[in-house]
Structure 1
């Protein structure tokens, strides 16, 4: 129980220390990654973290493509 309390307080401290995060792509990626990680050996938290990172990367890539200037022809 003491370990759980220490881990929870450390997580709360880290969340309080970081700034506002943009969640474009992260939420959907975390859900999909968490479900996949759960079924792939009960690694839901690791799957959610990886899914968030991948979802954020894909959202940034789509945003860059949308804002890119048109190619000269």
Structure 2
């Protein structure tokens, strides 16, 4: 119980430092990764990996959207 409480306290403390732009894609990825990781006994590692993958996918979508909107200067 103490370990879970300590984890919640640390997570809440770190949440204060995260900006809105940083979390784009991370929240959804962390939820999916955490659930998948929990199924095999590694929930925290799954959440961390899911967050990283979610951020990568969000950045890729943003780059594609920006490339489609801005014409190439010649």
Q: TM-score range by the shorter chain?
A: 0.5 to 0.7
TM-score (norm 2): 0.66
TM-score (norm 1): 0.67
The structural deviation recorded for 1:42 is 1.1
The answer to whether residue 64 in structure 2 is matched with residue 65 in structure 1 is: yes
Figure out how many residues of one structure are paired with residues of the other and give that number. Answer: 70
Q: Which runs of 5+ in 2 are unaligned?
A: none
Larger radius of gyration: 1
Matches within 5 A, 1:1-73: 20=19, 22=21, 23-39=23-39, 41-68=40-67, 69=70
